[in-house]
Structure formats: structure tokens, C-alpha cells
Chain A
């Protein structure tokens, strides 16, 4: 580990990807993540990597598909409308079981929306977005240090399961600056060997075929069942969350990403007012840590979900709590970030 350096969020993620062994980046500028694309255009030539600005997000995601099919570590980044355009490719990449890393720095929507931070892509990120039965491993970092660590992890998890992973950040994380400690550069020779399936030329072996389809419905069903087995393993092994002051809490705030970070302040403010509040912060948004959250239903009298959306993750909170305790919601949208005071006022109304 090196010393701490002051960096911008988008650039921190880009540098983390390079240190994790990513040597091919394809992307298209869109606010508020354009600096990541710009950063990669500077850095990739310095590490003998490939940077290519695609003509569209549709092309970028398909370049990713092609490069990933050769067994290399690859990444793209975008923001909400761009990620919508990529959904065709996301579905194909999931179907072809290619290990790629996506970064979506979420902004206000729907449609063109604005360029301010939001969390309203949660449904698209965790429930699909593209067609078919598929899942991405989705990480929701709260700080730049966590974003750096999760970016590295995303590459490893993608490789381990041959499945795409997604860093779901928001405009706040993308645009803020913080001190970050970067991991060392990964020795490329220690990266997982993908020669057993990757397209590298059929020298001395049977040709490798990578597809997301089979015209026979029974074969396609078997492929889907195989995906589900993989997803089951991911659910068993990859759930991540953080609990903050939950030991004695009877009011559980549930929030992720930037909102999860703000919620820590809200917990402290509530405690000053004598409210035993605690925070449950999912780090993997898929697989969602349902069981860990459900455990808190025994001690809590109230769950309070706070999001920078009109209420998307709250549905997963309700699934976890399963009617055992009330689940309330507060959210701002369109790129408005809730202040601790307004959330606290809402909380005090509820109890």
C-alpha cells in the first residue's frame, strides 16, 4: 500500500481498475463520469493498455463484449442514459458469461434527466434492465476508498464466476475528491488464466464458441438453469453490508452509497436526540443481504429507508422485513441530495 493521495472519484475508479489489471477500456463521454473516460485516455497508453472512444455506448459495450471474449480484463464506464443504451450488450454479456466490469455513475432521470447525483437506476441495476433472466453483481460504494477496493473486487468476482459486475456509484461519488490509498499494481501474470474458454485462436485445440443463445428451447432452459446455479453460489458467497450502531438500535435506517454515508450523520444526530438509531448499509445491492437485514427485524420497531430516488431499494427492504415491522421511506429525486436535517425531521415525525 502506498501513501494517501487526493483524487477525484471517477479517476480513483479508473486508477483502481488499471491496478487490478484492466488493460482495455472502451467508453463514451457523458456527465458526470467523463473524467473517467478522459483519465483512461491518458493512463492506458502509459501501461501498454488500450483506450478507445467508441461512437456510442451501444458500440462501447459491444467492444467490451469482443475484448472480454478474448479473456482480458476490460471495463467501461457511463452515466444513466448511457447505461440504458448499454442494456442490450449487458444482457448479451451476461448470457455469454463474460467477466467484465461496468461503472454507472448515476444521475437524475428518467430520460435525459440532469447531471446531478441520484440513485434512481437501482431497479435497472439490480433487477435487470436488459432482457432475460440474468444477474449482475452490483456494488454500491459510499466513499472513494471503498470505491477503489470494490473496483478491484469487482474484477476478481467477475473472473471467479464469469459474470459481469457493476459499480453503481452516483454523481456525488464521481465528482467529489478524497484522500485514497491505492492497492499495489496487480502482477498481470497472476491473473486468472482464461485460455480454457477464451477466443485466442484455435491452435492445437477445438475451436472455442462463445454465445448467449441456443435456438433449442430445452438447451436454452438448461443454460438458464446453469446461470441460476451460479447466481445461487454468488448469493451464498458474495453478500456484503455494513452495520453502524445497530447493536442496541430499535430504529434501523437503511441506505446505500452516498445516502448511506450521509445516514451515518443522521444516526449520530438522532442519538443526540435520544433516539436509538442504527444504520444498515448494503454494499452488494445484488446479491442483496436480505438475511442480515431480516435479523434486525427482531430488535427494531421501525425501518426507515432513505434513497436519492422515489423509492426503489425500499422494495428489497420490505422483502427482507417481510411484514414483521413497519418500513417507512423518504426520498428526494431528480438529482437532489437529502440533507441530514430534513431526513432527521422526517424520522422524528415517524417515531
Chain B
């Protein structure tokens, strides 16, 4: 009896086992990015910049050339790479602590320059790796280890909306906010990620996909509940949708 392989992992993943917590969405998003790289046939010219934070090892999970930027500086590192190697495809993978706190300046200016890079932005409203501290994206009233009485607008300000902020910049060619807590969202997100890469490949400018994600470990709830919590709490605060699309319909 002979078998034919009908389904296998993407070539752009190294096959190294993910080190993420159960129920975390990093694994899903990694896979989607890898599938997109495979489908676009760009694995051999893709350069990736991993962040500081939970996904610091992302450079090992992808079977492409990769480095790790200092905390928040991935867009600047990616800028240097892309300017040196304009024919290559460069992407950053960043969390909310990385992109929306310490690296706010770098992401705004890279986007505003219309830097031809792609950013995958994971927003789980909390700091993961350091153990559940407040992020700029933490919801009002949400308890974290550094907002133990719940985030208050008076003391810590409001959740920062990166997609909305960046969507005002003319250098942005594709920008969407999405989620992957349901199968249909996973399929939709893959299409959005592909467009964010196409924005770069077509030379149109900066592309970013913000993915609302779970952190069951630091939220302190089981994975299934975390998916529900995301739907009921994160989605109302961070509206889903395509904010900028200069790529047009995919052929």
C-alpha cells in the first residue's frame, strides 16, 4: 500500500517545536506567515526580524535568514536590511509591548517613511514573557501584575490603538486588524497577511497586520475561555477591519 502526502507543514517553518504556552496564538500566526511565504515563493529571499518578548525565538521557527532586534527596534533594523537589500523581502514580528510601548517611535517612522517592509503585530493586551504586566493595549479596568486594581484612565491613560494611529500615515500601503480565535478568522487572517506582504513586494509601501491574540497564561484563564474573552472584550475595544488597502484585489 502506498501513501501520498496530501498535507504537510509549510517549508518556511524550520520544524523546530514551538515553545509557546498552550492556547497562545503565536503558533497559529507563525504558521500563517510561513504558508504565505511559501505561496508567494519568497522563502529564499526573505529576511526576518524577531522581537524581544515571547516570540524572541521566532527567528528559529522560520526557515529563513533571521535576526533579533533590540526591544522595540525591529522596524529600524528592518529598515537597515531593506535599504541594503531592496530586492529581498523583510518582515518584523512584534508584540504589543515591543511595538506599542518601547518601539512606538520606530514603528511610526518606519510606517511614515513608507518603508517597504511587513510587520506582523500581535496584540494580546498584556506583557507575556515578563509575566503579565500592563501593556499600552491593556483594557481599562483590566487587572495585570502592574495594574493590580485594574487599569484606570486617570493613572495609566487609555488603550493605545496602533492600527487607527498608523492608518493616518500616507506611507502605509496595507493595514488591517484581525483575529484568529475561530477557524474562519484564521482563513481571513491568512489573506490579510498575504496582502501585507504584497504591499511590500509590489513596492507600494509599509504593510501591517495587527492580530488580536490570547495569553491564557497571563490572563489566568483556560485557552477556550481566553478565546471567548478575546471576542467579548478585545474585539469591542479594537475594531476589526481593513484600515488601508492600496494593494487591491489579489489576482
Contacts and interface: CB of A to CB of B under 8 A. Distances in A.
Contacts of B49: 66
A72 B67 CA distance: 16
B81 A67 contact: yes
Given A200-B65, A207-B66, A58 B73 contact: yes
B161 to A, nearest CB: 21
A59 B76 CA distance: 5
Interface in B53-77: 56, 59-60, 62-70, 73, 76-77
Contact of A209 (B45, B60, B73): B60
A24 B80 CA distance: 9
Interface string A203-220: 110011111110000000
A201 B45 contact: yes
Interface in A42-59: 50, 52, 54-56, 58-59
Contacts of B69: 62, 65-66
Contacts, number: 126
Contact of B67 (A52, A200, A209): A209
A82 interface: no
A65 B80 contact: yes
A70 B43 contact: no
A230 to B, nearest CB: 20
A67 B65 contact: no
A59 B70 CA distance: 10
B232 to A, nearest CB: 35
Given A201-B65, A208-B65, A50 B84 contact: yes
A55 B113 CA distance: 10
Contacts of B59: 209, 211
Given A59-B105, A92-B70, A201 B80 contact: no
Contact of B81 (A56, A199, A204): A199
B200 to A, nearest CB: 14
B164 interface: no
B84 A24 contact: yes
Contacts of A199: 47, 65-67, 81, 85
B109 interface: yes
Contacts of B133: none
A55 B109 contact: yes
A45 to B, nearest CB: 13
Contact of B85 (A54, A74, A200, A213): A200
A213 B69 CA distance: 11
Contacts of A203: 44-45
A284 B66 CA distance: 34
Nearest to A91: B70
Given A62-B69, A65-B73, A207-B64, 4 more contacts: A70-B80, A70-B84, A203-B45, A207-B65
6 contacts: A54-B76, A54-B109, A65-B73, A66-B67, A201-B46, A207-B63
